[in-house]
Structure 1
Amino acid sequence: MALLGGNKKDSKHDGIGLFYGEGLSEQSLPRYVIPADTIDENADQRDEFIGTSTVGSSEACMLGGMAALFRWKQQARNLGLDMSKRPNMIISSAYQVVWEKFGVYWDIELRKVTVTKECLALDPDKAIALIDDYTICVVGIMVLTYTGRYDDIKALDAAITTYDKTSKVKVYIHVDAASGSLYTPFMEAELEWDFHLDNVKSINTSGHKYGLVYPGVGWVVWKDKAWLSIFNVQPFSSSLGP
């Protein structure tokens, strides 16, 4: 599985293709990621995926978190939950400071799973124990800067699938892949952490962590347009997402 790679089944890198091209129209959406093994060669399925470039992975995290918050609000209102209660997000204690900023700016409680000597990444069971109807998402991190480990996104996905079978509010995963997404697919191709997993709905990455890249640049991508509000800007006859 590769974050960078082709969009055909015979691509050199069998995985997710990242498509470049900034555009305002719905026919040329800014960014796409596509699991290569799901592509019908006779149809263009990129329209189901959506994303955008950002000035860095911090902005990408913010946008991913905002989308999760707004999606949760939609579920919560439909279920008649008390909207005055503070929503929360589950994350490893080894998070980057942008997530603390996100919590402050949007009044989200960060429920942290403590990293220990025995477990240097997110413990999926402990993460599940912190979830309730006010959880907007669980953030998995690829790679944890402080420990050099990956959160086990596949195990987290399985645990959330089990949780969602009996929960009122469905919980999903945002993957903060700022540090790991651009090399993990090539170094550890067998690792499962991306849109092949059912509950991974959004991924952010950074374009300036390696390779002498001077400008701040990043991307955030969503598995499906349903995770965003698409609206028309009439002067340009264009469709945009928030």
Structure 2
Amino acid sequence: MRLENRSAIVTGAASGIGQACAQLFAKEGAHVLAVDLPGKNLAAAHEGRKGITCLEKDIAAEGAAEDIVRTATDKSGRLDIVLNNAGVSSYTRIEDMTDEVWQRTLSVNLTAQMRLCQAALPHLKQSPAGRIINVASVMAEGTDYGLSAYCASKAGVAGLTRTLALELGKFGITANYLEPGAIKTGMTSPLWDARPDVAEIWAKKSALRRLGQPIDLARGALFLASDDGGFVTGHGLVVDGGLMLRV
């Protein structure tokens, strides 16, 4: 097992990419603290799964990062892996942008990631294989109408992670980010289920001619979290089935 006896935090773990990562990490031997908002059916998502402890918490709330790290370390006595996956989407054109939409998007997608990394650092420094994996998006490098806040937040994740890699390398900690493409998750499924024609358009844009699944991202995250990815840092791993090749 590639993560035997390691301790991991996975946020946004009630569905989609976070759920898949938490369960694959646990399957590979990690003790996982799965985190998501209250009311997201987090416990039900992981019912019967060994090695997963659930914590309902708004990651953007004051003091949340410290509470999450404390819960993880109290449970397993160590912390080796932080996977920041929780995020929100927003579709507001700049001329209609409000401070509320802008601040909420950056607070969840970027600031909360920085805070959790910061709170985890004392423990990651003690780990023989400290790992930070932040979830960005292919939109960190692209854009579309109405995505100014979302794209800014995801580009920020990329910049944050590269800086973490530079600053923490001397401690043997790696920091990388995932760039998902068109992935069928709890966030995207309602649209694609209601509009299969839209789903088909996105699938055809991919070189592999299909939508991505959460497990596709989880497998990439597992590589970065394991010893296999021990000499990879400051890297953005694009998992998009070739979506961006024609952009």
User: What is the TM-score of this pair, normalised by structure 1?
Assistant: 0.32
Query: Which structure dedicates a bigger proportion of its chain to helix?
Result: 2
User: What is the TM-score of this pair, normalised by structure 2?
Assistant: 0.32
